[in-house]
């Protein structure tokens, strides 16, 4: 009797072990029985949460789905802008399963590669529509965030409805230009920068001429005012000197005549190479011939 119980116990243990399955944290499971997904009371696929669960051995097949956020690093693809220019865009998408039953059915049994292939096609179509209505400048700088948001909203709506997935985020990692048009774009940018530089240099030269003309005008004005003031001062000084000489002439006519003669002597004999022909008897040498006149 005991010998018969051992196989029964072993069989029971095996059946028990085959009847249980464990769903790990971050995963969800779907049970397929006779090729059909087990459904809950509300006629939707029954989703098994993390924990210990039971199934019919031999008849039930457990399919485990990853409930964590997935990253689809999309391959770089070529798109055409509104300017009919080609750009190569590299992007990635963050997604996770929202409706596990719908996801399982639409991806052929929860095949992740199938899901990402379908999602990649929809993201590419959204990018193609958005890039086709934008210029390169808008894509690179001005409307890059707008493009990503629009594609994300469109792909999220279609993905949630058909694939049972939820799109978390979509980002454009890199935007490159094909090598055949890069040089033409760089040449155009270089020409634009050179035109701007020439315009700035021309404006600088014009401004320099204006500043130089203003400076020359100010210098001329200052010099003119200084010359005018100098002439006024010189005239006032000459008038004062003339006044002093006139007063001196009135008070001491002989002394005034002596001073004027000394000035004439200084100017006449200033250079040793000059020759002066004068009659010795002329009044020019009066103070040289009669020095006692000074004492008077």
- Cα dihedral: 288, 290, 295, 296 (round 10): -130
69 within 8 A of 168, measured Cβ to Cβ: yes
Domain ranges of the chain: 2-66, 70-177, 253-296
The two structure tokens encoding residue 64? 């485990």
Mean pLDDT of the chain: 80
Cα 64 to Cα 12, 22, 48, 110, 217, distances in angstroms: 25, 10, 9, 8, 90
270 has pLDDT over 70: no
pLDDT at 267: 67
Q: What percent of the chain has pLDDT over 70?
A: 78
Helix (H) or strand (E) holding 272: none
Distance CA 217, CA 209 (A): 12
Averaged pLDDT, 20-35: 86
Looking only at the bridges linking them, the beta strands covering 27-33 and 36-37 are antiparallel
User: Tokens 């029971």, residue?
Assistant: 12
- The reply to whether CATH 3.30.479.30 applies to domain 70-177 is yes
CA dihedral over 109, 112, 118, 122, signed as positive or negative? positive
């Amino acid at each position: 009797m005991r010998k018969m119980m051992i196989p029964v116990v072993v069989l029971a243990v095996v059946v028990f072990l085959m009847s249980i399955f464990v769903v790990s944290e971050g995963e969800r499971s779907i049970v397929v029985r006779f090729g059909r997904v087990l459904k809950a009371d509300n006629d939707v696929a029954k989703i098994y949460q993390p924990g210990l669960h039971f199934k019919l051995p031999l008849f039930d097949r457990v399919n485990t789905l990853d409930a964590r956020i997935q990253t689809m690093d999309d391959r770089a693809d070529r798109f055409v802008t509104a300017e009919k220019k080609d750009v190569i865009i590299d992007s990635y998408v963050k997604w996770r399963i929202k409706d596990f039953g719908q996801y399982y059915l639409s991806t052929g049994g929860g095949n992740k590669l199938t899901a990402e292939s379908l999602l990649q096609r929809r993201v590419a179509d959204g990018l193609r529509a958005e890039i086709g209505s934008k210029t390169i400048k808008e894509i690179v700088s001005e409307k890059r965030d707008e493009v990503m948001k629009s594609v994300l909203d469109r792909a999220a709506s279609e993905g949630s409805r058909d694939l049972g997935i939820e799109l978390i985020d979509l980002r454009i990692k890199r935007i490159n230009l094909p090598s055949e048009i890069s040089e033409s774009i760089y040449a155009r940018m270089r020409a634009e920068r050179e035109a701007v530089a020439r315009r700035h240099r021309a404006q600088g030269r014009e401004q320099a001429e204006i500043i130089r003309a203003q400076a020359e005008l100010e210098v001329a004005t200052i010099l003119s005012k200084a010359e005018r003031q100098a002439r006024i001062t010189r005239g006032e000084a000459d008038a004062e000197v003339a006044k002093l000489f006139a007063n001196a002439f009135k008070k001491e006519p002989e002394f005034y005549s002596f001073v004027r003669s000394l000035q004439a002597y200084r100017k006449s004999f200033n250079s040793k190479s000059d020759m002066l022909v004068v009659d010795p008897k002329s009044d020019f040498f009066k103070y040289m011939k009669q020095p006692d006149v000074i004492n008077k």
